[in-house]
Structure 1
């Protein structure tokens, strides 16, 4: 059969909120299979009674501390006053129809003085195939799946796709996105980095497509893209520049260098790479981060869905690797995707890392950093510590898995780019253990706030590798960095509700963790609710705020929950740092995080449709002052779509998002979305810019 047999795969559909098709193709329906973490390390309740109250550490709750830091402007507006509209106009441009101006609205507040003022839009039904923006704004595609990148690249043709063409075109399911101005361009030119997480060949290709062609086209649609952008000035949208010098596609047949202590080790050697230092390609890329030295990081997440293995070892089981045919069947054509083949047993060990790419050097070799550990990385984000070391935070995006921190051995040197490019190659690796300060009886899985008025406590960064040595008894450094989940299990960290994006704020230096959801929390045989994950069968997710107490390299921290998500109007138990729940935009399944220039948090969501009935979107959250916890929805994406890779340029009153898997539940012959061109052909994952409407 030329296309993926999704009805068969959907028998193992997730219990969560995401489309069963998305689950089958993105994460091999891992939720339906069940959690990979069966460790019996201490539960949160076991340690809560002995935890040191974080109030004794910082002299008050983080919520109280934040409220004292600053104010906001204007009265609180009820959610959903905005009447933005964003349906495509059908002429191939995909422009939105938002109208009016963005000034002077009763709800168009400006937290911390941001120039990006808007009224929150009303939630949009998840079946609506529109890109909806706040009133006074419009939208433009920056680049779409299949757009030609190079001077001689062919134009996209729905009916004549090929692997060679796709290698020269923008890939599928764009996720993490970052834009950097090209020095000396006066704001008119930029370079954009985008990764491509996975493919849905049932939407992409006609049913009669040859099986080998389907495999090769799908492989070519994975990977990474670097592309130059240009605009007239900040009042105009960016367009991508075909044939530009920095344009690049990084594919599964491109060489990556393995760095760090595990590089060259026996666990990374294969018949095609007996040195264990070079791997071909990257896949399953999800979120990422921009380093202080201008390179891009991308997290290899659900790599397990691309490999068939014996599935017998503890490590294979812990990573979800199994002896079953994969959705795309690459193992039938390419030996390296079948770890049952002699000489390829370690091939899966070469995926699941943080990838670093230099977007300004198209000849550079991308690197996979073993020092940050191997797991299902959502991404990684770096902040420089007070002593100049690089500190990278990363979440393992699976239910009941962990939050990690890396601290570089060496320090950042201003102006020495060659040196700074080595900072993620060596350092210390830690995993987080949380403790709450409320009586266990008050954390009953309902999500009700405990008597002290906040979900909060202290935490500890448990060492995995320190000073180049393993801190885990019975594990070598190589074993810690290749089988990081097993090593972490051994030291007893806290099982979290899918740690996805983890973003440190350059303004406050606090760290924010998006915990997307966990339908298994508190169910039979699973870890119970705890103060850091306070809701059983957690459908809607929550946001953790971490205070490293003035030292990003510290092994102790204070924490609180910024919000417990949901829709109060539907009776959900929610919490928004004491902000009135009736005055927030409903939000579910926080995924990617970003900050604007004045320190407001922005959240993109993944999974809202089948939960609270609304499409995924982009939301702004006020972090400080009396409006701390206020959530305002800025945009909503089309049917079945996920909001990814938010970039906020609030000084230009503009924002960018990557729209992934629109129309996911359709098929080639029965498409459910026509975003962004609305030309009757089918959906194209795209990077979108939102900007004020001109005229």
Structure 2
């Protein structure tokens, strides 16, 4: 969720070392040498021949290598989507567009007067992570599954938040969650297919199943669900994952802010940011008492999970996979080991939180979802410790091992997973600077993670700067990467930073980076496409864009990078409209179509836009009330994106 940096969660008060306290001082000079040095001997060539890419990376993809051939876009303040010369950007799916359920396709009303029931059949607000599932080869037709992270109630309702009601709360719930839509390429460009047999909206009130070690746990049981195996809804869905067996993983990120807490939260609630007044932004607890943790404390434990969805069956029940742990989940990049085990890499977007890895017990079987319905329910969850000298280890989060015992407050494996943060604290994992999206380069075996920023870095009671990241506060962020020793299910790895974000010309340490090429700040979305190009998307808060360290960065953007290029250049591919976050990325199977999400255009620094003056911040995409939307990008000559 895009927020003022000063409002981001920071609840980790453990004594664990931060990433900056374990870095080798000698690495500072090496990093400042730029990407050319960073692609040296530490990460030599490697091929994971048995690792499966996501379904979009199929045999239809051309073997083009990682070359980047477009002319970079100049940085500018703009209220439109800007792409390189020779490219076209087309708006495909806006907030409020009908999802495509047959016989139930209410049109969007420009004054936002659609009801909660209508909103539950339309695109949600604030599009985020996204995946493409090919149909008929995937070059001209497919299914898009995408997240709707949160809402701006100032724009969601005709009179904004001047008044409040249960209907407004329920409309907000309906604007969260996930859309599943069918898309196809026509003579005039890509469009949604309406009606579609795949069309589906999943909201904060959709019935879901709880599976894995925490299912049925005492901490998961409520008055409405005494068995602890059923839950309503998913929300604050940020980044995502796509499994080799054809499912969509949506990740619950800043869910704690939807619950109203007690005057005196207990240690468990404090560790997850629950407090009195924490539900005052969305005010759902005023309409639905399950969001009042003073009345239903266990409902709070039923969120913070990775949810698996079958995008091809709108009648299927989404499943919360508790074996992957509970966190402010940002994403879930999924790959396979040589033996076919599933490996899921996950960041947790909060200050000083952790990077996780899940390894399945069993290998993936042929037969798609039908043969792998429980693959993510059995396995081992790990948390990362980054040691000095560029080495690291994965610490198993297994009940009974090390400090994870009943005497230490972990009665069983279910409690270890529900209290993933506390378990990671106890294990001595490394505190990171807001780890967000993860992605796996299947050709080299390298795993990347964006560390967006951490403006608490260097405060009096928080970890300070060091040689590996000499910036306090860390306003610009960086991208870290690692390579496992052996296969992806190993427990040791080598790591370095791909790049420190920020303008190299800035004199302040808090903003200086080592980027060669087009500079950026606050890296967030991240994806290695099927041919090996690394795409980087940014999410600098509207409260800082164009100011201070971001004075030369008035808008968020998307860039392309070949991590193996000796020149190490990063090139700007896209600029977003005013106030937006650029996020979500997927490609059709022939790599000639790219889908990108534009989130919260026109977001005001206070995050609640004035519906009476929507043009004050943005008119994108239609000249009126700003609407998040999916954009389709193609080359005018029909060629492969990025070449």
Shift of 1:656: 1.8
Cα separation, 1, equivalents of 2:42 and 2:8: 41
Matched residue, 1:135: 85
2:131 to 178, 182, 192: 178
Whether the 8 Å contact between 1:116 and 1:651 is mirrored in structure 2 is: no
The answer to whether the aligner puts 1:616 opposite 2:530 as a matched pair is no
SS at match of 1:557: strand
Q: Contact (CA 8 Å) 2:485, 2:491: kept in 1 or not?
A: no
Runs (5+) with no aligned partner, structure 1: 1-17, 24-28, 56-60, 71-109, 438-456
Q: By how many angstroms is 1:425 displaced?
A: 0.7
Task: Name 1:644's counterpart in structure 2.
Answer: 583
> Contact conserved, 2:394 with 2:492, CA < 8 A, in 1?
yes
SS of residue paired to 2:189 = coil
Answer yes or no: is the 8 Å Cα contact 1:284–1:300 preserved in 2.
Answer: yes
Question: Is 2:190 the counterpart of 1:238?
Answer: yes
Q: Residue in 1 aligned with 2:268?
A: 315
| TM-score (normalised: structure 2) | 0.86
Within the candidate set 389, 399, 416, 1:480 is matched to 416
Deviation track 1:641-669 (CA, whole Å, cap 9, x = no partner) reads 00111224595443221110100114101
Query: How many Å apart are 1:111 and its aligned residue?
Result: 12
Map 1:569-608 → 2, pairs under 5 A: 569-571=505-507, 581=515, 583-607=516-540
Contact 1:639 1:663 in 2 (8 A): yes
Whether the 8 Å CA contact 1:203–1:664 is kept in 2: the answer is: no
Which sections of structure 2, spanning at least 5 residues, go unmatched? Answer: 31-36, 47-61, 639-643
Q: 1:469 to 1:435 in 2, by over 3 A?
A: closer
1:510 is aligned to: 446
Counting only pairs closer than 5 Å after superposition, residues 254-653 of structure 1 correspond to structure 2 as 254-310=206-262, 311-324=264-277, 325-341=279-295, 344-415=296-367, 417-437=369-389, 457-465=390-398, 472-473=404-405, 474=408, 475=410, 476-530=412-466, 533-571=469-507, 581=515, 583-607=516-540, 609=545, 610=547, 611-613=549-551, 614=553, 615-628=555-568, 630-648=569-587, 651-653=590-592
Tell me which stretches of 4 or more aligned residues in structure 1 moved more than 4 Å: 42-51, 66-70, 468-471, 530-534, 572-577, 648-651
- State the alpha-carbon separation in 2 of the partners of residues 259 and 279 from structure 1: 11
Task: Say whether the 8 Å CA contact 2:558–2:572 is kept in structure 1.
Answer: yes
C-alpha distance in 2 between matches for 1:255 and 1:543: 37
Give the aligned partner of residue 65 of structure 1. Answer: 41
TM-superposed CA distance for 1:367, in Å, is 0.6
Q: Which has the higher contact order (CA 8 A, sep 6+)?
A: 2
Query: What does 1:114-153 align with in structure 2 at a 5 Å threshold?
Result: 114=66, 117-125=69-77, 128-149=78-99, 150=101, 151-153=103-105
**SS of the residue 1:465 aligns to:** coil
Residue 615 (structure 2) pairs with residue 663 (structure 1): no
Q: How far off its partner does 1:211 sit?
A: 2.2
The verdict on how the C-alpha distance between 1:531 and 1:242 changes in structure 2, with shifts beyond 3 A counting, is farther
Please state whether the residue corresponding to 1:331 is helix, strand or coil. Answer: helix
Q: Is the 8 A contact 2:14 2:425 kept in 1?
A: yes
Answer whether contact 1:497 1:515 (CA < 8 A) is retained: yes
Shift in alpha-carbon separation, 1:651–1:31, aligned structure 2, 3 A:
same
Residue 195 of structure 1, CA deviation: 1.0
2:34 equivalent in structure 1:
none
Distance 1:690 1:213, change over 3 A: same
Deviates more, 1:525-534 or 1:395-404: 525-534
Q: Which residue of 1 aligns with 2:11?
A: 36
Task: Using the TM superposition, give the Cα deviation of residue 514 of structure 1 relative to its aligned residue in structure 2, in angstroms.
Answer: 0.3
1:216 aligned to 2:156? no
Note if contact 1:605-1:644 (Cα within 8 Å) is conserved in structure 2: yes
1:144 and 1:686 in contact (8 A); partners too: yes
Q: Which residue of 1 aligns with 2:50?
A: none
Give the C-alpha shift of residue 385 in structure 1: 1.2
Going from structure 1 to structure 2, the CA distance change for 1:294 and 1:533 (only over 3 Å counts) comes to farther
Quote how far apart the aligned CAs of 1:464 are.
0.9
The one-character-per-residue Cα deviations of 1:120-142 (angstroms, maximum 9, x if unpaired) are 111123xx212111111111111
Which secondary structure does the structure 2 equivalent of 1:566 belong to? coil
In the other structure, the counterpart of 1:442 is none
Instruction: Please tell me whether the aligned partners of residues 197 and 222 of structure 1 are also in contact (alpha carbons under 8 angstroms).
Output: yes
* 8 Å contact kept, 1:62–1:559: no
Q: 1:677 to 1:43 in 2, by over 3 A?
A: closer
Question: What is the deviation of 1:550?
Answer: 2.5
Could you tell me how far apart the structure 1 residues matched to 2:617 and 2:63 are? 35
SS in 1 for 2:518: coil
Residue by residue, what CA displacement relative to the aligned partner does 1:143-162 show, whole Å, maximum 9, x if unpaired?
A: 00001122332111123321
Q: Distance in 1 between matches of 2:490 and 2:442?
A: 17
Deviation at 1:690, TM superposition (A): 1.2
SS at match of 1:481: helix
RMSD between superposed Cα atoms in Å:
2.9
Secondary structure at 2:40's aligned position in 1? helix
Measured against aligned partners, the alpha-carbon deviations of 1:588-632 in whole angstroms (never above 9, x if no partner) come to 11101112232111011001624423211110011103123x110
Write the distance in 2 (CA, Å) between the matches of 1:123 and 1:353: 37
- Secondary structure of the residue aligned to 2:596 is strand
The alignment's TM-score, normalised by the length of structure 1, stands at: 0.80
